[in-house]
Amino acid sequence: MSLTNTPPTAELQALDAAHHMHPFTANGALGAKGARIITRAEGVRLTDSEGVELIDGMAGLWCVNIGYGRAELAEAAARQMRELPFYNTFFQTSHVPALTLAAKLAELAPGDLNHVFFAGSGSEANDTNIRMVRQYWALKGQPQRRTIIARRNGYHGSTMGGGSLGGMAAMHAQGGMPIPDIVHIDQPYWWGEGGDMTPEDFGLDRAHQLEAKILELGPENVAAFIAEPVQGAGGVIIPPDSYWPEVQRIVDEYGILLIADEVITGFGRLGHWFGSQSYGIRPDIMTIAKGLSSGYQPIGGSIVCDAIANTIAQDEFNHGYTYSGHPVAAAVALENLRILDEDAIITRVHDATAPHLAQAWARLADHPLVGEAVSRGLMASLALTPDKTRRAHFAAEPGTAGYICREYSFGNNLIMRHVGDRMIIAPPLVISHSDIDEIILRATRTLDQTLAHLHREGLMSAQ
Ligand code: PXG
């Protein structure tokens, strides 16, 4: 079947409903409603099949860091496809794009994170991490060190390994996750869970859960702790400043490996190349994907420190993917990194756009529906609340208000997501000040409409 001229939207939606199973979607309900068909994009703007233009406040799915429409990446892909569209890196062979990208990442990554194992996605990379840290400890003569500690409401992907590391209850409820030897502690979400504590005390308290869990399991049984520097899919949960230094102290004290999942926070999102640099932490492994290629090609990986890589190198590591280091994806990633660097995009986030967003976004906290409005780099979130004076949750099922707000946002041609009753944005890093202002304008209108709707429907009562 060829679809050269764009058929009417309804036709596309019918085909989509009949044959396309969407991820994280109740496909029956979507089929009845009809998916929005995105046809083109440029800069920070999307166009749908009806010709409507939207501001993409989510950079695709937290990934289009350099913005849409960079022809250099298309050219890099075409060049590489002509020269060497595929070769594997399994059987004592390598190729220029993969080895050059590995070297470039070693140069960019902090400390002695000098080695890269490639994957096709963030989920795959986290599966690699599970295998790698367990194999590391086995080679170190401590095969019982298998347990990985992760966090509730963390997100690390949707494979069996990634989904198990993640702490999403709705995911664990389906298909037999988590797999054995992965345990979860609570997240550092002060606004939602901090009670009467100050944010600083709460951050320490949540870090101490890690210590308590290590002691409960026995440090000799714990392989690693994995966490996102800032939780993304969990609702842009920015930890109190006290959290990460204490976590670093604890993993150091007990000799536990630290895996920073940088799939969202990597490649400039927080105003540094990596979120770990923004928080001054020293991971042993960083998970990467998304912004590595700005989403133009599917590619992920693990950046690994000398000690682990050198140990793993002592034996055959029985793990890998057909597309590990795929030459076209690697060539595109290299071109993406060149642009991030030469256009000084990350410096601009750090010095200009993130401070501008922080200031403008914080003002949304004055809105009667908003309990907190926080940002770090170009990640930002709002907590919707029926009563901001006591950080109250809605009596209605969690996510009801958030969903209504998301619908108004789409109606205002702004892609702003909801996670439960939190609203989140993470726009392309190339966004201008005036487009940030436009996001704030549309978000404010959206909040006004949502508030009116919630009042109308009697949904403003608190738990
Ligand atoms: N780690 C983190 C921190 C992520 O955010 C993954 C791993 C998995 O990457 P892949 O490439 O396998 O998807 C992610 C992905 C959402 C949403 O609803 C977030 C992600 C993926 C899908 C949906 O915010 N993050």
pLDDT at 235: 98
Domains in the chain: boundaries: 36-66+344-456, 72-342
* Contact predicate 274/260, CB 8 Å: yes
Atom of ligand 1 at shortest range from CA of 159: 12
Q: Which CATH class is domain 72-342?
A: alpha beta
pLDDT, residue 229, reads 98
Rounded Cα gap, residues 208 and 166, in angstroms: 20
Whole-number pLDDT of residue 2: 52
In sequence order, what are the beta bridge partners of 380? Answer: 375, 425
**Residues of the chain whose pLDDT is less than 70?**
1-6
Q: What is the pLDDT of residue 7?
A: 79
Candidate of 62, 302, 419 to mutate for ligand 1, largest count of ligand atoms within 8 Å of Cβ? 62
Q: What is the pLDDT of residues 122-149, one digit of tens each?
A: 999 999 999 999 999 999 999 999 999 9
What is the predicted pLDDT for the residue at 282? 98
Q: Which atom of ligand 1 is nearest to the CA of 231?
A: 3
Residues contacting residue 57 through CB under 8 Å, at least 6 positions apart: 414, 415, 416, 417, 425, 426, 427, 439
Domains 36-66+344-456 and 72-342 share a fold: no
- pTM comes to 0.97
How far apart are the C-alpha atoms of 334 and 343, rounded to whole Å? Answer: 14
Which residue's CA is the nearest one to ligand 1's atom 24? Answer: 233
Give residue 296's region: left, alpha or beta (phi > 0; psi -120 to 50): alpha
Ligand 1 site, residue 157, Cβ cutoff 6 A: yes
Sign of CA dihedral 273, 275, 281, 284: negative
Q: Would the CB of 379 count as within 6 Å of ligand 1?
A: no
| 112 contact partners, CB below 8 Å, separation of at least 6 | 305, 306, 307
| Ligand 1 close to Cβ of residue 300 (< 6 A) | yes
Domain 36-66+344-456 sits in CATH at: 3.90.1150.10
Residue 3 Cα to ligand 1 midpoint, Å, equals 30
**Are the CB atoms for 405 and 382 separated by under 8 Å?**
no
Q: Is the CB of 234 under 6 A from ligand 1?
A: no
User: Tokens for 254?
Assistant: 């007990």
Q: Which amino acid is at 260?
A: A
CB 350 within 8 A of CB 272: yes
Q: Is the peptide bond before 178 cis (omega within 30 degrees of 0)?
A: yes
